[in-house]
């Protein structure tokens, strides 16, 4: 209950009850308030957030589809436990797909879309809440690769970005400077896009993911040791 008590005090965008619960839990997971392996009782969550159990069930299903929550054989929910093996799998996949998406996007992206990405990046640079920054981070990448006009690609990337967010949050908690560095790398990506420099955009995209992966891999391996 102590872990769950903090959820209701988080800053969550105005939403329906279902979305409120989902975003509250997502923020709890991404910030480490709800660590990997924590059991998530529906009644406890409902009481902590002042809602019925129906939106809690819906929120848990959503987060399970994103890989943030697991259900056991008895349908008991718990926060997904990160592993070094999964870390490398999701980062390798995302690196390949994001690089492909960026190479396709750069010749197509409009000035309007670039300005929207810049607006989101402005918000990220002034954001002090890690969970909100991570949500904006996914929006930043989605607005750019959305120029590809490929719904299937966007669905694959959205799934990977949801899984990777858990690890990016861990990286920022390990080294808060990672958030500052990531903001700078986003600016480099925007500059490459505006210059229609495909090679540079792909280079920045691939390099952008390595520091977080290295930080988390080191942290996970040290826990095992």
Per-residue pLDDT tens digits for 59-84: 999 999 988 999 998 889 999 999 99
Which residues make Cβ contacts (< 8 Å) with residue 86, sequence separation at least 6?
Answer: 163
Q: Which string of DSSP letters, residue by residue, matches 30-77?
A: HTTSS-TT-EE-HHHHHHHHT--HHHHHHHHHHHHHTTSEEE-TT--E
Q: Label residue 77 exposed, middle or buried (CB < 10 Å: 0-12, 13-18, 19+).
A: buried
Domain end residue (candidates: 49, 64, 79):
79
| Residues 206 and 101 grouped into a single domain | yes
Residue 88 and residue 144 in one domain = yes
Overall average pLDDT of the 31-44 stretch: 91
CA 80 to CA 196: how far, in whole Å? 39
Range of the domain at 11: 2-79
The continuous run of DSSP H or E covering 205 comes out as helix 198-224
**Do 117 and 157 reside in the same domain of the chain?**
yes
What does the pLDDT look like over 110-164, one tens digit per residue? Answer: 999 999 999 999 999 999 999 999 999 999 999 999 999 999 999 999 999 988 9
Q: Is the pLDDT of residue 181 over 60?
A: yes
| Mean pLDDT of the residues in the chain | 91
SS3 77: strand
Q: Give the domain CATH number at 204.
A: 1.20.120.530
pTM of the model: 0.87
Q: Are 161 and 138 within 8 A, CB to CB?
A: yes
* Of 199 and 33, more confident: 199
pLDDT value of position 221: 84
pLDDT at 2 over 70: no
Domain tally, the chain: 2
CB 79 within 8 A of CB 38: yes
The pLDDT score that the predictor gives to residue 6 is 55
The CATH number of the domain holding residue 16 is 1.10.10.10
Tokens of 188: 């480099």
Is 89 found in the same domain as 68?
A: no
pLDDT of 54 reads 94
109 pLDDT higher than 80: yes
Same domain, yes or no, for 217 and 108?
A: yes
- Residue 1, pLDDT > 70, answer no
């Amino acid at each position: 209950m102590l872990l769950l008590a903090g959820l209701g005090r988080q800053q969550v965008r105005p939403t329906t009850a279902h979305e409120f619960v989902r975003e509250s839990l997502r923020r709890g997971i991404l910030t480490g308030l709800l660590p990997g392996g924590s059991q998530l009782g529906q009644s406890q969550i409902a009481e902590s957030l002042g809602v019925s159990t129906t939106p809690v069930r819906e929120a848990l299903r959503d987060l399970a589809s994103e890989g943030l929550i697991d259900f056991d054989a008895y349908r008991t929910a718990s926060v997904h436990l990160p592993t070094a093996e999964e870390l490398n799998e999701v980062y390798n996949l995302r690196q390949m797909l994001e690089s492909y998406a960026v190479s396709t996007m750069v010749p197509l992206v409009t000035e309007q879309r670039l300005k929207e990405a810049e607006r989101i990046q402005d918000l990220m640079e002034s954001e002090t809440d890690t969970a909100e920054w991570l949500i904006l981070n996914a929006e930043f990448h989605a607005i750019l690769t959305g120029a590809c006009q490929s719904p299937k690609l966007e669905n694959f990337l959205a799934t990977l970005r949801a899984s990777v967010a858990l690890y990016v949050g861990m990286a920022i908690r390990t080294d808060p400077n990672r958030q500052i560095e990531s903001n700078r790398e986003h600016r480099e990506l925007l500059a490459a896009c505006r210059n229609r420099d495909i090679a540079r955009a792909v280079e920045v995209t691939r390099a952008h993911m390595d520091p977080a992966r290295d930080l988390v891999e080191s942290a996970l391996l040290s826990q095992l040791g």
